[in-house]
Structure 1
Amino acid sequence: MSLNRQGAPVSVTRPEYAPFWAPLRHKLFVGLWLACAVANMAIWMQTVGAAWIMTLLSASPLMVSLVQTAITLPVFLFGLPGGVLADRMDPRRLLLLTQSAILGAAAVLCLLAWFDLLQAWSLLLFTFVLGSGSALGMTAWMTTLVGVIPREQVPAAVSLSGISINATRALGPALAGALIAWWNSASVFLVIALCMAAVIVFIIFQLPAKTRVDDLPPETLVGGMRSGLRYIRHSDVLSSALKQVFVFTSCASALWALMPLVAKHELGMGAGGYGLLMAFMGAGAVLAALSLTSVYRRFPLRRLIVAGAFAFAAATFAAALSNSKLVVCAMLLLAGMGWMAVNATISTVVQTYAANWVRARVASVYLLVLMGSMAVGGVLWGALAQYLGLENSLLLSATSILLGVLLTRGGTIAMGREADFADAQQTDKPVLVLAGDVSHDDGPVCVEISYQVGAEERDDFLRIVYAVGQSRRRNGAQNWRLYRDLAQTDHYVERFIVESWLDYLRQQERVTLADEVLERSLSRFRFEPLAPRRYIYQSPVDVV
């Protein structure tokens, strides 16, 4: 491992990328992949089926649009809390709870529809419950799926997930429409309930429980969200990845949002034609997913992301300027490949570049940024199209994608390795000697470590100590500073604050193998006569 110019750790060797089919050798992964696909198909059935059923219950365009809100709003409300819960508790238990909530909501909707008791507001209410279960379990699915395979197989797993998502995005709405047309509204909710029942049976009998070995009390929900956001803030790679997702997705969402208008007004196509355009984009995404892992071996990640953004921008230009159905379909195939090249790559970075203790929270923030950018971007591009026109809005979107490439060109994009982000065993961790009792709630805690550095080693010391400082801040430290002694130019003091004694103990438990390597490199500069000192806040009131 080496350090970049900002002092951040970077692996010397490139990650080994497993073949595309490698995760399929793991029986549990295959089961989880199929179960996740069934759950995704059920959500797509609910999204499309409920929207169509709402048109039968109410003539109000507002009520119809609120169905989409009822599905997506829970992602913003419960996405990050779901990530905290996935890190704190057994993912198997969380999945059972969330999928049972979806099953219950679908069963109630089925009964209401069967007995002609379904009303517009009850449809919205239980759609919101169903969306909430999906939002709370989304991160647990994501981390459980990649948690049963080695980290070097995560890129292949993300590609397989991309195929699953695009397949269920096409199959779910089609199945919902067929059920409504050939049977009745209740049948949609019945099939959703049966899908979720099958998923729950798989979880009960096939997914093993995960035992937590943490001796410390779990974080509070709010504290867990704060620590997840702090971890991302102090990781150059994760911050760059999320910035890339936000910039690209918010700019590129115009093509997704305005595609129905392109089909109708630019190409003169009906609902079937719109479905054909979306199918071409989905096919492009699947083609890209099949080859991504081999592309990772040949090209740097940044070059792949740039190529994907340029491809999507070119397709957006074509949708704005061309009236040829053949040209637009061909370019949409390219757009699907570009979309997958950008977002699947960033998803892989996010899922490999986080420590185990915060992995689900980082994934939940990624999903929140991705879906939020799609939702907000769609509204903004729709409003612009109303005032600027369809063609000008798409041209502006394509231009903004290219400008976004320039805006994010300085970011650090890399994939993590198991050798760096696995938990450190810390078998030689020193025993803390305390004079008196200290409770978990006592604090803040101040930690002070002294170093003695010769002039010839100063540059190496500064690179390492600032990398360690970034690691400490990711794991819970605040107000980290390095001070130089004015009386002794070779004497330095590292000082940082942790909110409480319990948070300090958590910080020590969160050390990864990469953190441990950095701290060992730093330990050679320790000023031996002065052992690390720990101070705890003393209030004005005397301690009894």
Structure 2
Amino acid sequence: MKLAISSPPGSVERKIARPRQSSASSPSPVTASEDVVSPAVPTALRPEPFWEPLRLRLFRFFWMASLASNLGTWIHEVGAGWLMTTLEGSPEMVAAVRTSMALPIVFLAIPAGVLADRFDKRRLLMMTQSLLLLVTATLAVLTWSGHITAWGLLMLTFVMGLGMVVHVPTWQSAIPELVPRNQISRAVGLGSISFNLARTMGPAIGGVLIAVLGIWSTFAINACTFAGVVVVLFLWKRTARESSRGRSFAASLRQGVRYVAMHRVMRNVMIGVVFFVLPGSSLWSLLPLFAKTELGWGSSGFGVMVACVGAGAVMGAALLPRLRHRFGSDRLVAVAMGMFASGLFVMSWSPRWEILLPAILVMGAGWMATLTTLNATAQITLPPRLRARGMGCYLTMMAGSMATGSFLWGQIAGRIGLGGAFQVAATAMVATAFAGLAFPLATRLDD
């Protein structure tokens, strides 16, 4: 990794018409071998592969650190959930572990975005990662020594949620500084891949660690991943600087919310998130019960279904640049939502596994394509001085829609059954996919 960056990678101009060797003298902070495409076929006719941002050394190191951190998070979640079952086995306390992590995101994502827009992002990320390292290391020691309690676990998990709510909008708003504008959508897609790879492998690794070393090891591994992120942040010599521009914290918050509400594309992104996540949350809220009651599968079968969602997301990411290049963002989102709805319809029939698992793969691809497109559109649309606040609004809208949808589909399933709930959710998603065309994104992500 380069230890000094003279200008942000987002300012790199891609050399297309010139031969490869002529770009060697470019003043770009990225070497020619990392940022040149073949001139034989114009970019307009041949979209770049989804992994293109990994040629950029700085982004590659950030992506590797993010993958390790995501993996550690999923390993940690397995350990925390299992630990609570040994401390206090009631369903309410087990469910409270995830709730204590999610609540800060719902209520504090926008204020956290204000912080990220007013203070240096690199220092803020180092502070949050150091806090998360301290919390997970403390949890590992207390668990290893046998001094952890149920309420102590919830308290430490809540503190982790506070750290994560600052970390996530700050991290996402930093992506446009790491890659050129025309690669932001691919960078966001690669972030989705790292998340889904971690979601696929993390629970299995966590189970092995618990069986071989004990629950404490899952927290220790997560602490090590946070330490790795801190190392990468130390090597990032960032030149951009944030400023409050003389505004108070409250005025900055109002400015960010007002921009998102008044800017047409950002407003449409928020509407798109609600249109998709509200019916789409039926999958995540009802999948464990579906696996247990409708299919008669145990925890391993449920793990296979979750892994299929992740695998579908990874495969969809490989095709996303070409599909977006051909169909555009608006039609792609509508088609992806239709794909997800088709999987919900299949689940409502409770078919055999050889039909169900391919449908879940399709749903994973639809989930990734929709949210990646909306996320990348937001990051491209937002001006740098408002980007973290805008991404805080995005995360708030997503978390609020997920929480509302989970409650809604649980109530519906209790009245008409799982199959009926999936049918209602699928019908609602088809309707919102068509309705979403009236709120265009109107942004080229590959220019």
Higher helix proportion, which one?
2
Does residue 262 of the first structure (1) align with residue 309 of the second (2)? Answer: no
Q: Show the 5 A alignment for 1:121-132.
A: 121-132=151-162
Maintained 8 Å contact 2:181/2:380: yes
Q: Of 226, 231, 240, which aligns to 1:201?
A: 231
In structure 2, what is the equivalent of residue 525 of structure 1?
Answer: none
Inter-partner Cα distance in structure 1 for 2:324 and 2:92: 45
Q: Of 175, 194, 218, which aligns to 1:164?
A: 194
Percent identical residues:
36
Does residue 220 of the first structure (1) align with residue 272 of the second (2)? Answer: no
Maintained 8 Å contact 1:15/1:152: no
Q: Show the 5 A alignment for 1:70-89.
A: 70-89=100-119
TM-score for the superposition, normalised by structure 2: 0.86
In structure 1, what is the equivalent of residue 24 of structure 2?
Answer: none
Specify the SS of the correspondent of 1:389. helix
Q: Show the 5 A alignment for 1:321-336.
A: 321-336=349-364
In structure 2, what is the equivalent of residue 370 of structure 1?
Answer: 398
In structure 2, what is the equivalent of residue 294 of structure 1?
Answer: 322
When the two chains are superposed, the root-mean-square deviation of aligned CA atoms in Å is 2.0
Q: Of 293, 301, 320, which aligns to 1:273?
A: 301
Inter-partner Cα distance in structure 2 for 1:323 and 1:89: 52
Map Cα deviations across residues 361-387 of structure 1 (whole Å, 9 max, x no partner).
Answer: 111211221222122211211121112
Inter-partner Cα distance in structure 1 for 2:445 and 2:198: 30
Q: CA deviation at 1:187?
A: 1.3
In structure 2, what is the equivalent of residue 173 of structure 1?
Answer: 203
In structure 1, what is the equivalent of residue 373 of structure 2?
Answer: 345
Inter-partner Cα distance in structure 1 for 2:306 and 2:317: 17
Q: CA deviation at 1:137?
A: 0.7
Q: CA deviation at 1:209?
A: 3.3
Inter-partner Cα distance in structure 2 for 1:101 and 1:69: 20
Q: CA deviation at 1:213?
A: 7.2
In structure 2, what is the equivalent of residue 242 of structure 1?
Answer: 270
Q: CA deviation at 1:244?
A: 0.9
Q: CA deviation at 1:175?
A: 2.1
Q: CA deviation at 1:266?
A: 2.2
Larger Rg: 1
Q: Show the 5 A alignment for 1:102-501.
A: 102-204=132-234, 206-212=235-241, 217-415=245-443
In structure 2, what is the equivalent of residue 43 of structure 1?
Answer: 73
Evaluate the alpha carbon distance shift between residue 220 and residue 178 of structure 1 in structure 2; reply closer, same or farther with a 3 A threshold. Answer: farther
Q: CA deviation at 1:211?
A: 4.2
Inter-partner Cα distance in structure 1 for 2:442 and 2:253: 24
Evaluate the alpha carbon distance shift between residue 406 and residue 157 of structure 1 in structure 2; reply closer, same or farther with a 3 A threshold. Answer: same
Maintained 8 Å contact 1:352/1:416: no
Inter-partner Cα distance in structure 1 for 2:242 and 2:47: 30
Map Cα deviations across residues 166-225 of structure 1 (whole Å, 9 max, x no partner).
Answer: 011122222222221211122121111111112112211x111344275x7453322222
- Name the amino acid aligned to 2:329: L
Evaluate the alpha carbon distance shift between residue 131 and residue 405 of structure 1 in structure 2; reply closer, same or farther with a 3 A threshold. Answer: same
Inter-partner Cα distance in structure 2 for 1:279 and 1:76: 26
Inter-partner Cα distance in structure 1 for 2:245 and 2:161: 30
- Name the amino acid aligned to 2:237: P
Inter-partner Cα distance in structure 2 for 1:167 and 1:340: 12
Q: CA deviation at 1:21?
A: 2.5
Map Cα deviations across residues 99-157 of structure 1 (whole Å, 9 max, x no partner).
Answer: 11101111111121122110011111111111211111111111223321111101111
Provide structure 1 residue ranges, at least 5 long, that are not aligned to the other structure. 1-13, 420-544
In structure 1, what is the equivalent of residue 9 of structure 2?
Answer: none
Inter-partner Cα distance in structure 2 for 1:126 and 1:410: 44
Evaluate the alpha carbon distance shift between residue 219 and residue 179 of structure 1 in structure 2; reply closer, same or farther with a 3 A threshold. Answer: farther
Inter-partner Cα distance in structure 2 for 1:221 and 1:168: 36
Inter-partner Cα distance in structure 2 for 1:295 and 1:323: 29
Maintained 8 Å contact 1:71/1:130: yes
Inter-partner Cα distance in structure 2 for 1:325 and 1:218: 60
Inter-partner Cα distance in structure 1 for 2:445 and 2:96: 43
Moved more, 157-166 or 19-28: 19-28
Map Cα deviations across residues 311-349 of structure 1 (whole Å, 9 max, x no partner).
Answer: 111110100113211111111111111112211111111
Q: Of 93, 115, 121, which aligns to 1:91?
A: 121
- Name the amino acid aligned to 2:102: T
Inter-partner Cα distance in structure 2 for 1:414 and 1:188: 44
- Name the amino acid aligned to 1:55: T
Q: Show the 5 A alignment for 1:54-69.
A: 54-69=84-99
Q: Show the 5 A alignment for 1:507-518.
A: none
Maintained 8 Å contact 1:80/1:225: yes
- Name the amino acid aligned to 2:180: P
Evaluate the alpha carbon distance shift between residue 156 and residue 213 of structure 1 in structure 2; reply closer, same or farther with a 3 A threshold. Answer: closer
Maintained 8 Å contact 1:41/1:169: yes
Evaluate the alpha carbon distance shift between residue 211 and residue 283 of structure 1 in structure 2; reply closer, same or farther with a 3 A threshold. Answer: closer
Maintained 8 Å contact 2:185/2:445: no
Map Cα deviations across residues 229-259 of structure 1 (whole Å, 9 max, x no partner).
Answer: 1111111111111101111111111122111
Inter-partner Cα distance in structure 2 for 1:113 and 1:30: 34
Inter-partner Cα distance in structure 1 for 2:67 and 2:163: 16
TM-score for the superposition, normalised by structure 1: 0.71
Higher strand proportion, which one?
1
Inter-partner Cα distance in structure 1 for 2:242 and 2:226: 30
Maintained 8 Å contact 1:250/1:374: yes
In structure 2, what is the equivalent of residue 460 of structure 1?
Answer: none
